[in-house]
Structure 1
Amino acid sequence: MRPARGGRPTRRTAARILVALAVLGGAAGAVLLARPAERSAVRPATPGAPGEARTARLAGALDAVTAGVPAALPALTELIADRERRVRAHPGDARAWAVLGAAYVERARRTADPGGFPAAERALRTSLRLSPEHNADATAALAALALGRRDFPTARTWAQQALASAPGRGAAYALLIAACTGTGDHKAVGRYLEQLLKADHSPAARARAAAVYRDRGWREDAAAQLTDAVAAATGPAERAAYLEQSGRYAWERGDLDEAQRSFTAALRLDPARRDALAGRARTLVSLGRSEEAVAAYRRALGDRPRPEHLLELGELYESLGQDGPAGAQFERVRERAGQEQAAGVDTALVLGRLEADHGDPEEAVRGLREEWRRQPGTAVADALGWALHRAGQDQEALEFATTATEEAQGGGVRDALYEFHRGAVEVELGLSGPARRHLEQALRTAPAFSPLWAPEAGRALAELGEPVPAEAPAGIEVAADATG
């Protein structure tokens, strides 16, 4: 049952998770959310026609990239080659340029290669030059490109144009929700989610709703939406994406067995899925299987490592007392971030986290202040608050830590690291009661949320000790034990 007017849905039962797991080996019959016009660009072959399988793969990849649904890499590669041939033969075909640009964006995202973003932008701007009016395919793909670059204000602008060109388009609502989340406009997120769920009942819409519910701290509702998305997903790549998302949320709430099952199932369907490989590594760290985790991270990093995964591996090495390998990974974060910046990616968040804990906290504060000015999302509030704490500015740090963790300020997400950050700031300010509460919440949410900071949370909590019982008011005797 979907929520009325974007509100909280009725909670599902845990039994629905078993339904999703039961369909992993079977075929699903749900239809992708692409519009009929999108599906006709690559016509399905008639039974027995030459190249029927290839045509079907191209049609599926086309549906995926135009509808914002994860696509299988082999089919995506075929679609790119097909559209490249098309624009060479017909350089005035605006839609072919738009599909090509969208496919470039998806490939860059899937392979962690933002070097493909400039080519995507050229293709998409060519499409707009050829067809500047009502070109929803190009404007939606430009919004997706901006999201890939972590440029949320630009993503919002392009997504609004896509929606104006094609009212009711589910993919445009999903892009707007992601963009508004990044800019911290939580009221707009609620409005667009309501409109998305009215316009679109697809698995992709359910996965986007799950992300919103997760950000609001509605964990059971997020899990239920993902269970439905997994069960209804059309193909292996799409199903693997929702399983990875499910595993990530399970890890965040400390359910390591469920996280392992989800990541393993995702990788069985899509072995090249880097975020699932990294999720499995993260889960192995939380299980205390450090050697296996190091090997899993190396597989996830491959030849195009994501900076955030390099940072995680560096912190794992540091937690093991291996300062040399840790430092090498931190340098790789800077190197890889520089490469991403050259492709137009905003890396202020990951660099701010790196500098706060493993470099220059003052530099982290400067970079994250600018990031907060541009796009004040919850993740930036947490990172800036922590950088201020590491730089010794705890009073201001508490303001941002509160923003990241208080539901009334948009920080409804129940993230153990955010709770720890706030508790650590409160320890420094002598706020023992709130500090104890937030440190306990961090460890209750996910006891092994970080190889570096979970042990520190335990030590800080032990040093705080038990709360001192309140004294009875004068003139009132405390009742004796009735059995004494």
Structure 2
Amino acid sequence: METEKDASARPAALAPEPPLATTALTDSALAPTGPRRRSPALRRALIASVTGCLVLGGVVVLLPDGSGKAAPPALGPAGRAMAAVGAGAPAALPDLTALIGEREAHLRAHPGDEQSWAVLGSAYVERGLRTGDVASYPKAEQALRTSMKARPDDGAGNVEALTGLAALANARHDFRAAKKWGELATMQAPKRWTTYPVLIDAYRGLGDTKGVGRALESLQQLGGGAPALMTAGRVYQDRGWREDAGAALTDAAALAEAPAQKAACLYRVGELAWERGEPVEALRYYGAALAADPDHHPALAGKGRALAALGRSGEALSAYQAALAQRAEPQYALELGELYESLNLLPAARAQYDALRARVRQESTGGVNDERILGLFEADHGDPDEAVRRLETEWKRHGSPQSADALGWALHRAGDDEEALEYAKKAHEKGPRSAQFAYHRGEIERELGTYGAARRHIGEALRINPYFSPLGAKAAKGALDSLGEPPEGGPEQVYPPAPPRPRYSGSSPSGSGSGTKPRGTAPKTSKPSKRR
């Protein structure tokens, strides 16, 4: 776990992007119905820019025509979606829906337009991420692969579709596939910054810290404004560089213009405060994120965590229920179930656990991999042996610190603490500074009888965040109390062993004549000392 760094290792600060100038984009411009068409190069450049940013919330600079004419007419919903993306933000959900409908209609008339297929596929990915509509993912895959097939040479040069496929794989938690598509996109367009955030997400999911570093360096050299700063902030957070992460994310929030993008940045700042064990500060940022975008479900779930830590259980339950109404995320169901269980509301907890299983089954129909969260659930609330089976497969597929922690904990719950400790060490030493990672390692060490290490790591978990889990934090406090204080003088192993007591024959050093000799041996005369 990296907590310190040399000044020479710090990445250069990202300079803010210059103000954006955008052209008017009308609905008719999105789907030309007359015989006049843009040149293929111009049309490809425009739609390619939109495609990359639709998934990433990126920045597109569309220069005005300089004609000096009056302001353009008001944009329709699809035009607003294009304009929002051009300003560096994801589109509002109603406008995104309008854009999807417009592209679908256009492609019915022009089925060979590979760029519009790429736009449509990326829009489906964005809709699935924002709403949890996993049925959007098979549609996205079909659209993106159609875009690839429509381009000669098996899609060579179709960076927009490659980036969309990488984003789709990330959304499905298939980080190996995301890495493949992302690396192809960056190889074909190394100067296009929109290809790098999806590749960084893939490397993060695989635990490839070197890959993350290389891709982040390339992104920083190319710019990218608020989305690049947000990506950098998440990488710094993984490295334990909390001050740098907070600075990058705060700058990203200041640069963000669209409400959804600003909410995402503020939520991440709140997560930093939560990880430090500061629920009041976290709640403030979660509230600011929700003020920017009331439909931002991660901030609603974060608000539930913070309120529970502050003892405001009724409000916490309401916040979690609101988050699940926005998106039935398995992680939210697990957290809400454990909150109910901590309040001794066991029937409500079981209902959430049943909902978690049902949601995992539903998401699997869209190709989403929820093995890690399902494994953690089975380890604590179901079948630990089943958890080990699932998480061993997940570890082989995605060797991230999160996967190592989950597998280590499942092995502990299944009774194999020696192997569990190997994975817990990998997670704790290579992953972010996490209260959960430290607690899991400490509990495993306590079971193995290494009480000094257990006391150290469980105490570390509670120092990082004494509210990290409604069930886990309580268990950690109980475990630390059971371990008690270390014995006076510290552990024996910090002192050299006492030398063996010499056996004297004849007189003792004090001349008392009380020496002893081994039974059955003749007395030996002590040799004179060589010291003068």
Match of 1:278 among 281, 301, 309: 301
* Matching residue of 1:71: 91
Q: C-alpha distance in 1, partners of 2:370/2:188?
A: 31
Q: C-alpha distance in 2, partners of 1:212/1:6?
A: 17
Q: C-alpha distance in 2, partners of 1:39/1:179?
A: 21
Q: Give matches, 1:390-469, under 5 Å.
A: 390-406=413-429, 410-411=430-431, 413-468=432-487, 469=489
Contact 1:9–1:221, Cα closer than 8 Å, also in 2: no
Structure 1 pair 112–279 and aligned structure 2 pair: CA distance change class (3 A): same
Structure 2 residue identity aligned to 1:81: G
Deviates further, 243-252 or 313-322 = 243-252
Structure 2 residue identity aligned to 1:296: A
* Matching residue of 1:338: 361
Offset at residue 62 of structure 1 (A): 4.4
Contact 2:77–2:99, Cα closer than 8 Å, also in 1: no
Q: Give matches, 1:186-335, under 5 Å.
A: 186-302=209-325, 304-335=327-358
Contact 2:11–2:217, Cα closer than 8 Å, also in 1: no
* Matching residue of 2:100: 80
Structure 2 residue identity aligned to 1:379: Q
Q: C-alpha distance in 1, partners of 2:482/2:49?
A: 62
Match of 1:113 among 112, 133, 156: 133
Residues 68-89 of structure 1, C-alpha deviations (whole Å, 9 max, x = no match): x543222212221221222122
The gaps in structure 1 that reach 5 residues or longer are: 13-27, 476-484
Contact 1:87–1:93, Cα closer than 8 Å, also in 2: yes
* Matching residue of 1:177: 200
Q: C-alpha distance in 2, partners of 1:302/1:434?
A: 42
Residues 444-475 of structure 1, C-alpha deviations (whole Å, 9 max, x = no match): 11111100010111111111111222378769
* Matching residue of 1:101: 121
Contact 2:297–2:327, Cα closer than 8 Å, also in 1: no
Structure 1 pair 92–421 and aligned structure 2 pair: CA distance change class (3 A): same
Give SS of 2:121's match: helix
Q: C-alpha distance in 2, partners of 1:463/1:429?
A: 15
Percent same amino acid at aligned positions?
49
Q: Give matches, 1:138-157, under 5 Å.
A: 138-157=161-180
Contact 2:438–2:460, Cα closer than 8 Å, also in 1: yes
Structure 1 pair 31–230 and aligned structure 2 pair: CA distance change class (3 A): farther
Residues 14-34 of structure 1, C-alpha deviations (whole Å, 9 max, x = no match): xxxxxxxxxxxxxx95689x9
Structure 1 pair 272–303 and aligned structure 2 pair: CA distance change class (3 A): closer
Q: C-alpha distance in 2, partners of 1:161/1:421?
A: 38
Structure 1 residue identity aligned to 2:459: E
Structure 2 residue identity aligned to 1:302: A
* Matching residue of 1:481: none
Contact 2:297–2:326, Cα closer than 8 Å, also in 1: no
Structure 1 pair 71–426 and aligned structure 2 pair: CA distance change class (3 A): farther
Structure 1 pair 242–304 and aligned structure 2 pair: CA distance change class (3 A): closer
Structure 1 pair 273–432 and aligned structure 2 pair: CA distance change class (3 A): same
Q: C-alpha distance in 1, partners of 2:236/2:90?
A: 21
* Matching residue of 2:57: none
Q: C-alpha distance in 1, partners of 2:291/2:232?
A: 25
Give SS of 1:178's match: helix
Contact 2:47–2:115, Cα closer than 8 Å, also in 1: no
Offset at residue 178 of structure 1 (A): 0.9
TM-score (norm 2): 0.80
Q: C-alpha distance in 1, partners of 2:353/2:242?
A: 33
Structure 2 residue identity aligned to 1:324: P
Structure 2 residue identity aligned to 1:264: G
Residues 317-353 of structure 1, C-alpha deviations (whole Å, 9 max, x = no match): 1111111111111111110000001110111011101
TM-score (norm 1): 0.87
Q: C-alpha distance in 2, partners of 1:399/1:263?
A: 36
Deviates further, 120-129 or 256-265 = 256-265
Structure 1 pair 234–303 and aligned structure 2 pair: CA distance change class (3 A): closer
Match of 2:9 among 4, 7, 11: 7
Contact 2:81–2:91, Cα closer than 8 Å, also in 1: no
Residues 226-262 of structure 1, C-alpha deviations (whole Å, 9 max, x = no match): 0110111131111111111111222111121221111
Q: C-alpha distance in 2, partners of 1:71/1:212?
A: 25
Give SS of 2:112's match: coil
Contact 1:256–1:283, Cα closer than 8 Å, also in 2: yes
Structure 1 pair 40–144 and aligned structure 2 pair: CA distance change class (3 A): closer
Deviates further, 332-341 or 262-271 = 262-271
Deviates further, 49-58 or 232-241 = 49-58
The gaps in structure 2 that reach 5 residues or longer are: 23-43, 52-59, 500-532
Q: C-alpha distance in 2, partners of 1:152/1:47?
A: 48
Q: C-alpha distance in 2, partners of 1:462/1:47?
A: 73
Contact 1:423–1:437, Cα closer than 8 Å, also in 2: yes
Give SS of 1:376's match: coil
Offset at residue 61 of structure 1 (A): 4.4
Structure 1 pair 30–245 and aligned structure 2 pair: CA distance change class (3 A): farther
Contact 1:5–1:194, Cα closer than 8 Å, also in 2: no
- Which has the larger share of helix? 1
Offset at residue 385 of structure 1 (A): 0.4
Match of 2:391 among 361, 365, 368: 368
Matched, 1:161 2:184: yes
Provide the aligned length of Structure 1 versus Structure 2: 451
Structure 1 pair 55–350 and aligned structure 2 pair: CA distance change class (3 A): closer
Deviates further, 292-301 or 302-311 = 302-311
Structure 1 residue identity aligned to 2:462: L
* Matching residue of 1:16: none
Offset at residue 59 of structure 1 (A): 2.0
